[in-house]
């Protein structure tokens, strides 16, 4: 126990990161306090919670046809009704997570309980937002040091897009998929790096195998189209550990088995329900015609602008530095940029749902890339100027975001 509570794990940097996450949590609660109204309990939110609560009570499998839906207060959305009663985009895990705080509540029947119900229905996504921020801090600090960690976490904690998705403020519930995707990519990379250790790699990595399997299950369970993470994770593992490819393949296969078991558990271990759910799933919903539509690119650009003014300023600078500075084109910077570019391309190709999910999934990877480039620029001879520009932008972004939050609810 004494080795666990060390200065490396619980020192000054961790304290400052905790304060930033506390500020992030406060902003989420402020947004709910000033913005949540009874009208925010819409039919989509109500249906999602009812479906999950129904499965928690053992009355069927969420996201699949059931006679109990006829007595529900909220009817299924059109995409489910047109898909023979099966959710084409989500597994039951999506519903189970959404309804976890409200297992015993079928609907907010009393008017005075509507605000409380709306708050509780958003708690899982605020939790995912906090966990994603902690994960981003851990990854960025390990890759780029304390400076990179502070930059990445500050951009994250004062990002309007992250705050909106964490509180479902005019946003779809995507934070579970975002955290799962982030965890799957960087856990796969971390596992591959450990393969050079002189140990029995399969057994020694059992914790990371479970973590990778959990991340894949969370991502795919919250959005079927994220099954693309399975080959992406394998590709990164084979690239990072070219001399241990069979070991990487074995660990990847073991993690996939863990993910499959967890997804089967989400279907209450009903093979028929899981097979029908997979058969009716839309794994690759891309529309190739969308890549020729200017509106699709404009929509993605507008979503990126919601990620924060500082990111909009820092991203072009980081891209220019990355392309013109050979020293910056190493794996730690290239990997998050490639992943972000892939998901942005998928967002363009899916102008409807789940395109919004791909857009917000790309944001944390862009934050990692920008943080890495900023940390590299801080090591140049122009450190003083770069530092003043970066921290000035971060401070301005934080003040602007807090001012916008103060206006919420004023009309």
Average pLDDT value for residue range 374-380 = 92
126 and 108 part of one domain:
no
Contact call for residues 271 and 370 (beta carbons, < 8 A): no
Contact call for residues 31 and 167 (beta carbons, < 8 A): yes
pLDDT at 71: 56
105 and 133 part of one domain:
no
Is residue 250 assigned to a domain?
yes
Contact call for residues 133 and 21 (beta carbons, < 8 A): yes
Distance CA 76, CA 68 (A): 12
pTM tops 0.85: yes
Is residue 260 assigned to a domain?
yes
pLDDT at 1: 45
Average pLDDT value for residue range 134-153 = 95
Q: Is the pLDDT of residue 7 over 60?
A: no
> Which residue is it, tokens 């990595």?
205
Q: Which of 59, 91, 120 is the last residue of a domain?
A: 120
139 and 56 part of one domain:
no
Q: For residue 314, give the H/E element and its range.
A: helix 309-324
73 and 167 part of one domain:
no
132 and 91 part of one domain:
no
- The b/e string for 196-212 (b: 16+ C-beta within 10 A; e otherwise) is eeeeebeeebeebbebb
128 and 71 part of one domain:
no
**Sequential DSSP letters for 240-269:** H-GGGHHHHHHHHHHHHHHHHHHHHHHTTT
Q: Is the pLDDT of residue 3 over 80?
A: no
Average pLDDT value for residue range 321-332 = 92
Distance CA 18, CA 137 (A): 10
Q: Is the pLDDT of residue 96 over 90?
A: yes
Is residue 8 assigned to a domain?
no
Domain that holds residue 315: 14-36+121-406
26 and 88 part of one domain:
no
335 and 279 part of one domain:
yes
Q: List, for residues 207-222, the tens digit of each pLDDT value.
A: 889 999 999 999 999 9
Is residue 1 assigned to a domain?
no
Q: Is the pLDDT of residue 110 over 70?
A: no
Is residue 19 assigned to a domain?
yes
Q: Which of 120, 151, 177 is the last residue of a domain?
A: 120
Q: Is the pLDDT of residue 411 over 50?
A: no
30 and 112 part of one domain:
no
Closest CA to 361 of 349, 337, 344: 344
Distance CA 326, CA 377 (A): 13
Is residue 7 assigned to a domain?
no
Distance CA 286, CA 212 (A): 26
pLDDT at 4: 44
Q: What proportion of the chain, given as a percentage, has pLDDT over 70?
A: 88
Q: Is the pLDDT of residue 307 over 80?
A: yes
How many domains are there within the chain?
Answer: 2
273 and 240 part of one domain:
yes
- Is residue 410 very low, low, confident or very high in pLDDT (cuts 50, 70, 90)? low
Contact call for residues 127 and 107 (beta carbons, < 8 A): no
**If you average pLDDT over every residue of the chain, what do you get?**
87
Is residue 350 assigned to a domain?
yes
Q: List, for residues 288-304, the tens digit of each pLDDT value.
A: 788 888 888 888 888 88
Q: Which of 70, 96, 120 is the last residue of a domain?
A: 120
90 and 226 part of one domain:
no
Q: Is the pLDDT of residue 113 over 80?
A: no
Is residue 295 assigned to a domain?
yes
113 and 165 part of one domain:
no
Average pLDDT value for residue range 221-249 = 93
């Amino acid at each position: 126990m004494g080795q666990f509570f060390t200065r490396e794990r619980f020192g000054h940097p961790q304290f400052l990161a905790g304060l930033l996450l506390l500020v992030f949590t406060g902003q989420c609660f402020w947004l709910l306090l000033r913005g949540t109204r009874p009208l925010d309990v819409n039919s989509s939110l109500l249906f999602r919670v009812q479906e999950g609560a129904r499965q928690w009570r053992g009355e069927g499998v969420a996201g699949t046809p059931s006679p109990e839906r006829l007595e529900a207060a909220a009817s299924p959305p059109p995409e489910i009704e047109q898909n023979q009663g099966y959710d084409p985009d989500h597994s039951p895990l999506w519903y189970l997570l959404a309804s976890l705080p409200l297992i015993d509540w079928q609907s907010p029947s009393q008017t005075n309980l509507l605000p409380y119900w709306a708050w509780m229905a958003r708690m899982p996504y605020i939790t995912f937002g906090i966990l994603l921020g902690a994960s981003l801090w851990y990854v960025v600090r390990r890759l780029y040091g304390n400076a990179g960690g502070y930059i990445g976490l500050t951009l994250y904690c004062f990002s309007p897009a992250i705050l909106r998705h964490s509180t479902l403020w005019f946003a779809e519930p995507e934070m579970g998929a975002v955290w799962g995707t982030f965890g799957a990519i960087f856990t796969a990379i971390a596992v591959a790096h450990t393969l050079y250790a002189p140990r029995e790699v399969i057994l020694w990595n059992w914790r990371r195998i479970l973590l990778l399997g959990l991340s894949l299950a969370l991502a795919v369970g919250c959005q079927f189209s994220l099954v693309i993470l399975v080959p992406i994770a394998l590709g990164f593992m084979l690239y990072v550990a070219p001399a241990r490819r069979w070991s990487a393949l074995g660990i990847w296969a073991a993690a996939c088995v863990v993910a499959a078991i967890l997804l089967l558990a989400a279907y209450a271990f009903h093979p028929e329900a899981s097979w029908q759910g997979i058969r009716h799933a839309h794994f690759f919903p891309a529309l190739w015609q969308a890549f020729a539509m200017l509106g699709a690119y404009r929509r993605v650009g507008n979503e990126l602008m919601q990620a924060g003014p500082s990111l909009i300023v820092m991203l072009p600078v980081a891209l220019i530095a990355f392309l013109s500075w050979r020293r910056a084109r190493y794996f730690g910077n290239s990997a998050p940029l490639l992943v972000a570019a892939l998901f942005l391309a998928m967002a363009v190709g899916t102008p409807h749902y789940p395109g919004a999910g791909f857009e917000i999934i790309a944001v944390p990877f862009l934050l990692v890339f920008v943080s890495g480039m900023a940390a590299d620029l801080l090591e140049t001879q122009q450190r003083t100027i770069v530092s003043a520009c970066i921290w000035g932008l971060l401070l301005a972004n934080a003040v602007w975001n807090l001012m916008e939050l103060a206006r919420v609810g004023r009309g």
